[in-house]
A and B are shown apart, each in its own frame.
Chain A
Amino acid sequence: MIGKKVKLRITFLFLSFISLVLIVFLIIKSLEENVVYFKSPSEIISLAELTNKKVRIGGMVKKDSLEINAEEIRFIITDFKNEISVSYSGIIPNLFEEEKGVVAEGYIQDRKFFVAKKILAKHDENYMPPEIKKALEN
């Protein structure tokens, strides 16, 4: 049913498609550094040298680490292996709280201290009504 010409076209298209995928893969691979939206505290600690450019750090807000006073908000971002203290003054999003995901954008001071200029709350993939959440906790 499939003629010789059609077969030839299929082979040609298949090969060109495969090479295109390969090209895109290589491009993205080489740009990996920029594709990643944020770094974890462990990646910051293992940096060879600290940059003074703006970076984003993401992880969990450590339990009982959140301190709010008149001038600033202090908390610790953890990835359960390493942690980094963050200082921030400004508006925080509604969903920002302890033991939830956060992405902080700002400047590294040293391997343990970070000054954020912007705070984003990271939402996880769980959706449920409040009653179910309560039932799960008990």
Chain B
Amino acid sequence: MNFILKINKISLKAQRYIFFLFIIVFSIGIVEALILSPSDYKQSDSVRIMYVHVPSAWTSVGIFSVIAILSLGNLIFKNKYFLTIAKSLAPSGLIFNIIALVTGSIWGKPTWGTWWAWDARITSMLVLCIFYILYILSWRVFEHKENLSKVTSIISLLGLINLPIIKFSVEWWATLHQSASIKLTGSSIHSSMLLPLFIMTAAFVLFSILIFLMKYNTELIKIKNKGLDRI
């Protein structure tokens, strides 16, 4: 696989550039989200929680789908780099998943009147969180290479089924969580609020890439110094 070797070469250099890019985008995003953007007509300033909540939920769902696709790629093409990339992606996905759950809870208390509700969207997000934890744990628990690739792939493919459930839960069933604001047909979020939302999403994606590169470069070093497979 020639292009994987190319990715490996780039990933060693890219870390620093991504870091600076992240700092810039994140500072613009946070100023836009906390100061420049207007407050909501109904929930006033608690709308600002959305600028962390929604991007982190998007990022964590996105990362899990990439992990699942990479695991599928490994099962088919038997390329160990696919798994290494997937492994390095998982921690930032889990962190953003937890951030989404916690910020959602903080938002839920003043708006809904409860910290937690067992509705379909929230529960399916919690299920994703469990899948992330299982996925990361399985990398630590299993020693044998062949077992490792099978177990992690099965977990990620099982988790993949959960993703459309997360997405469409608010349309299929009556949930406390509001339905999607941004659809193909348009958005019910005003444009002045969409701007910080998208900038923050870009910042979170950049942050995930940064953490991914750090993890991935460490993995590459481990592979290079054979025998030092685990610390």
Residues of A within 8 A of B (CB): 6, 9-10, 13, 17, 20-21, 24, 28, 32, 35-40, 58, 91-96, 103, 118-133
User: Within 8 Å CB of B175, what residues of A?
Assistant: 37
A122 and B112 form a contact (CB under 8 A): yes
Beta-carbon contact of B173 and A36 below 8 Å: yes
Most buried by A among B42, B118, B190: B42
Give complex CA distance A103, B111 in Å: 12
**A24 contacts which chain B residues (CB < 8 A)?**
161, 165
By secondary structure, the A interface counts as: mixed
Distance between A2 CB and nearest chain B CB, rounded to angstroms: 9
11 extra A-B contacts, CB within 8 A, seeds A120-B112, A120-B113, A123-B112: A17-B157, A36-B120, A36-B173, A38-B176, A40-B174, A95-B42, A103-B176, A118-B113, A122-B112, A122-B178, A123-B178
7 A-B contact pairs sorted by A residue (CB < 8 Å): A38-B176, A39-B174, A120-B176, A122-B176, A125-B180, A127-B190, A130-B38
Which secondary structure dominates where chain B touches chain A?
Answer: loop
Q: Which residue of A lies closest to B158 (CB)?
A: A20
Contact of A130 with B41 at beta-carbon distance under 8 Å, contacts A95-B111, A125-B179 already known: yes
Report the bound CA distance from A6 to B181 in whole Å.
Answer: 41
Tell me the residues in window 153-190 of chain B with beta carbons closer than 8 Å to chain A beta carbons.
157-158, 161, 165, 173-176, 178-181, 188-190
Number of interface residues of B (CB under 8 A): 38
A29 to chain B, nearest CB (A): 11
Say whether, besides A93-B112, A120-B114, A130-B39, A37 and B190 are in contact (CB < 8 Å). Answer: no
B residues sitting closer than 8 Å to A (CB atoms) are 38-43, 47, 50, 72, 75-77, 110-114, 117-120, 157-158, 161, 165, 173-176, 178-181, 188-190, 192-193
| Nearest CB of A to B165, in Å | 7
A38 partner residues in chain B, CB cutoff 8 A: 174, 176
**Shortest Cβ-Cβ A-B pairs, 4 listed:** A93-B113, A129-B38, A133-B41, A128-B190
Task: Check A129–B112 contact: CB distance below 8 A.
Answer: no
In the assembled complex, the Cα of A122 lies from the Cα of B121 at a distance in Å of: 14
Cα of A123 to Cα of B174 in the assembled complex, Å: 13
The answer on a CB contact under 8 Å between B176 and A94 is no
